[in-house]
Structure 1
């Protein structure tokens, strides 16, 4: 059975914290691949600042060079609000022999009781929780906990810096930064 990590998110923009988290979980659980699944519209936070096409292009640039990282566009293709249970149902139907490990930060672990059809979801996928500054990993749901280097970078932090024309060097891949500058994303409105 092929073991696949699933890493969903807005990736607005993707940053080194995302990449470190995915790599550490891949190594800790001996996953064969990690699939990044950019959301179309997240149900639990604000709408993305940038179009799905731009977030997808940034993500492609961010994971370039890592043969174990892939992108799956199931949520963008479906359009509308993205619910994890719908995504996992689709993936299980398309890949019935794969075992899926859904990677989430500690902030999302705390939110699990509010996820749509969580009782069904925990039967379909194994959750993997990673530490995040300011949050504890506590849940009544089954979960594998993986320690990763604590990197307190967030997409909102990067967007705020870009809006103020501050440096994001070493926070995002340089190819993503170049793309952001070329497309004039996150500029102060």
Structure 2
């Protein structure tokens, strides 16, 4: 395996099987020797319902099945700041197609492309023409690679909603994550 390093950041509120599938497929596609899973303590772009330490513990449970994964808390709200602090040699930043569509509006996207290549996960139904237009509008389009992933109709918000409705989540998250959510009584008061 190569020495390629991937970075997969998010709120992970909670982490779910879709996150794991994307991570696993990216490890294979990019031949990653390490995957740095970064639990963003205070994401600037979305609200979170649980404390960073709780989301970190859930992510550690979720990604434990991937040997390449190293889970840590990310104190930076902006990707560019996190990448500068990590100071890695040409990592692959993993994002979804929806994030790629919004990438020109990120903080300092040109600097992000200097610090990392982008691996953008696509699913059936993504408009590849729109994504190609976004890529073409960027200063370093050669630094972006689309890769297809198996679709999973799962979202963290949907899982939180199911828990609030007292519906099962066993098929949506790893068993250890479901058990910890239940033990801590997370996402029930909605």
2:27 is the counterpart of 1:26: yes
* Alpha-carbon contact 2:7-2:92 (below 8 Å) kept: yes
Identify the residue that residue 125 of structure 1 maps to in structure 2. Answer: 116
Query: For 1:47-126, what aligned pairs fall within 5 Å after superposition?
Result: 47-73=47-73, 75-76=74-75, 82-92=77-87, 95=88, 98-126=89-117
Q: CA RMSD in A?
A: 1.6
* Alpha-carbon contact 1:133-1:152 (below 8 Å) kept: no
Structure 1, residues 124-149: CA drift from partner, whole Å, max 9, x if none? 10011012465435022331111111
- Whole-Å Cα distance in 1 between the matches of residues 125 and 157 of structure 2? 16
Aligned-pair CA distance for 1:165: 0.5
Aligned-pair CA distance for 1:117: 0.6
- Whole-Å Cα distance in 2 between the matches of residues 21 and 121 of structure 1? 21
Aligned-pair CA distance for 1:2: 2.7
Aligned-pair CA distance for 1:66: 2.1
Counterpart secondary structure, 1:86: helix
Normalised by the length of structure 1, the TM-score is 0.89
Question: Structure 1 stretch 59-68 or stretch 164-173: which is displaced more?
Answer: 59-68
Q: Which runs of 5+ in 2 are unaligned?
A: none
2:146 is the counterpart of 1:145: yes
Aligned-pair CA distance for 1:72: 2.7
Inter-CA distance 136–38: structure 2 relative to 1 (3 Å threshold): farther
Q: Which runs of 5+ in 1 are unaligned?
A: none
Structure 1, residues 75-107: CA drift from partner, whole Å, max 9, x if none? 23x5xxx10000000111xx4xx3310000111
Structure 1, residues 48-77: CA drift from partner, whole Å, max 9, x if none? 11000110000111111321111132x23x
* Alpha-carbon contact 1:32-1:68 (below 8 Å) kept: yes
* Alpha-carbon contact 2:60-2:71 (below 8 Å) kept: yes
Aligned-pair CA distance for 1:169: 1.4
